[in-house]
Amino acid sequence: MSYKQTKCWNVDNFFSGGENLTWIKEAALWITKGEVVAFPTETVYGLGANALDEQAVKKIFEAKGRPSDNPLIVHIAEQHQLTDLVTDIPEVAHTLMKHFWPGPLTIILEKKDTVAPSVTAGLDTVAVRIPDHPVARALLQEANVPVAAPSANLSGKPSPTSAMHVYHDLKGRIAGILDGGQTGVGVESTVLDCSKPTPILYRPGGVTKEEIEALIGPVHLDPSLHSENAAPLSPGMKYTHYSPTGTLYLVEDQTKIASLIKRAREEGKRVGVLTTTENEHKYEADVIVACGSRENLASIASGLYESLRMFDEKEADIIFSEVFPYEHLGIAIMNRLEKAATMNELGEDFPCS
Ligand code: TXA
Ligand code: MG
């Protein structure tokens, strides 16, 4: 499906009232009529459609070019809406919702048949969350239906953290975009399967494993998160994601980055470096992007996707990235970087780690 125009509603100053609510109501009406509309959440922008309307949900897959075996997250405004979507809510899920909702935790539960089949890609379970963003909450309240929404990027590209990113990827492919400015967390929600006796963490994200375990005790990790050879249990985790067009390499030893840059430039390549405010002065490359500060992993998460997109904008052929500690938000940051990167290091041409 193509649209002559993708409408952009500016709702950045939502709390100042006035026209903003009118626009959110218009976007909500479009959703209830079966259209797809992008909206900001606290993590990244989502591409929303009525989760109970199979035809509307199919438009999401079409607009993104998303493989049909990759299920979507359903967004709701209030916890009581869960009763229309799931058969059973175990005690552990109640505890997690009470503590982390609204917020960047997606919980997987046994689904009811009311959910459009494409949403769950044929699985018996459905992923649900309440986002913590005033525009998202108002949209969900006004639409008064559960809204299925993946990240609002073209499949394979970094998730959008601004309306400009959505427009860049999806203009002419979707009906409209609610522009609520930059998102905050910057990486997607944590995905936790609570339909199993011990919850399984499928995707690290905005709520950390440490925070979850402090509340409910140990959870299992999807084997693919700690072993390269294991197949992921969650369909979406098997796809390459978040990739800039240039080849991205993760370099553990920061002292090697300068010589890697020099060598690639000698070969005539346009070289990018993904670094931090602490280190940016150390490099001489064509595109130097500091995504945040090492002192504050939240700032790295928040700037990560914008930074990855910057290398495309500035046409870097090859990108060397620093790495981050595998703890707290660092787990989500490294998970996204590893998916974006060409793995198995640089080979003989670029011995680096
Ligand atoms: O922060 C976020 O989660 C954003 C915003 C828009 O809410 N959404 C997002 O959606 O990242 P998406 O579609 O890009 O990622 C959803 C992930 C995929 O990896 C998918 O495979 C997994 O959740 N998922 C959804 N339903 C599932 C299910 N029933 N079982 C296993 N994995 C599921
Ligand atoms: Mg996504």
- Residue 292 neighbours by CB under 8 Å, 6+ apart: 276, 277, 298, 299, 300, 301, 302, 303, 304
- Closest ligand to the CA of 154: 2
* C-alpha to C-alpha distances, 68 to 58, 64, 210, nearest whole angstrom: 9, 11, 32
pLDDT in tens, 16-38: 777 788 999 999 999 999 999 99
pLDDT in tens, 169-183: 999 999 999 999 999
**Is the shortest distance between the CB of 188 and ligand 1 below 6 Å?**
yes
**Location of structure tokens 């009763």:** 83
**Strand, helix or coil at 271?**
strand
Q: Which residues partner with 287 through β-bridges?
A: 272
Q: Which tokens in the block code for residue 250? A: 């993760």
> Which pLDDT belongs to residue 124?
97
pLDDT in tens, 286-318: 999 999 999 999 999 999 999 999 999 999 999
Please list the alpha-helical segments (H only) found in the chain. 19-32, 54-64, 91-100, 117-120, 134-143, 163-170, 209-216, 257-266, 297-313, 329-340
* C-alpha to C-alpha distances, 175 to 29, 58, 163, 169, 343, nearest whole angstrom: 12, 14, 14, 13, 37
The lowest-confidence range among 39-53, 250-264, 301-315, 332-346 is 332-346
The number of residues making up the chain comes to 353
Pocket test for ligand 1, best of 43, 135, 188, 302 (most atoms within 8 A of CB): 188
* Rounded (to 5) percent helix, strand, coil in the chain: 35, 20, 45
Nearest atom (ligand 1) to Cα of 45: 6
pLDDT higher than threshold 70 for residue 344: no
> Which pLDDT belongs to residue 349?
46
Distance of CA 255 to the CA centre of its chain: 31
pTM to 2 decimal places: 0.95
Q: How many whole angstroms from 315 Cα to the centroid of ligand 2? A: 23
Q: How many whole angstroms from 294 Cα to the centroid of ligand 2? A: 25
**Strand, helix or coil at 292?**
coil
Helix axes 329-340, 297-313, angle to 10 degrees: 20
Q: What is the mean pLDDT of residues 211-232?
A: 93
Q: State what percent of residues in the chain have pLDDT above 90.
A: 86
pLDDT higher than threshold 70 for residue 350: no
Q: Please list all protein residues whose beta carbon sits less than 5 angstroms from ligand 2, which is an ion.
A: 151
pLDDT band at residue 196 under the 50/70/90 scheme: very high
Pocket test for ligand 1, best of 45, 69, 76, 106 (most atoms within 8 A of CB): 106
Q: Are 185 and 292 in contact (CB under 8 A)?
A: no
